[in-house]
Amino acid sequence: MNTAVGAKTAEPLALVEALAHELRQPLSAMESTAYYLAMVLPRCEKRAQEHASRLQRLIEQANWILCCAVQLADTSPLIVEPLDLEALIAETVAWQVAEGGDRPQLDLAGELPLICLDPGRARHLLKNLLAMMTRATGSEHPVRVRTSREAGVVLDLTVNTRGQGPEACFGAGASLGIESARRIVEAHGGTFQIAFGAASGARVRIVFMETTAR
């Protein structure tokens, strides 16, 4: 049997995509089970409800890790076009809220120059970062998303956390998510920085090169 998983000559992306496809089927079944438990468990069973909710969050995290792994294995050429970063942010936030996620606090500069990005990878980048930072352990405030124009088009994401490093703040898969984001930014000629502080929390700062004025 010569499948993407069994073939010795299979490309890394094909292997990761096949693995993600196979794992998403049991994850989907687990998600349905967790949702059912949350619906039928009595509200007075607070501990059981908490476990059902935690199971749902863990499934979401596993799906996120698979998405990051697929993106890291993807070495196909970039297909870039001039894009409006703030329009992409608004689209990503709408998607996250529709999926039941928390709405971040937006502080957008407006009227920023367009930047050249691969649309698919740009959407993955924003979804990845919002999902990762929303998950920050101990966060009592929404993720803050800020744009500005300095030595390029700047995107800052910050969140208050009690963690002291990636795994403490963002949970399992943090290193994978950070590396996926870094590679996408650097592939587009941008710079990626992430910092953690006991007082300042976690901060991601991305600077993209300007493309055109509006």
* Tens digit of each residue's pLDDT (9 = 90 or more) over 7-35: 444 477 677 777 777 777 888 888 888 88
pLDDT in tens, 44-82: 888 888 888 888 878 888 888 888 888 888 888 899 999
Question: Residue 143: is its pLDDT beyond 80?
Answer: yes
Question: Residue 1: is its pLDDT beyond 50?
Answer: no
| pLDDT score of 2 | 40
Question: Residue 213: is its pLDDT beyond 60?
Answer: no
pLDDT in tens, 86-130: 999 999 999 888 877 788 999 999 989 999 999 999 999 999 999
Contact 129/89 with Cβ under 8 angstroms? Answer: no
Three-class secondary structure of residue 195 per DSSP: strand
| pLDDT score of 162 | 64
| pLDDT score of 17 | 75
pLDDT in tens, 175-208: 888 999 999 999 999 999 998 876 668 899 999 9
Measured distance CA(201)–CA(133) in Å, rounded: 11
Long-range contacts of 93-100 (CB under 8 A, 24+ apart): 93/130, 93/145, 95/127, 96/127, 96/130, 96/131, 96/134
| pLDDT score of 81 | 94
Neighbour tally for 90: CB within 10 Å: 13
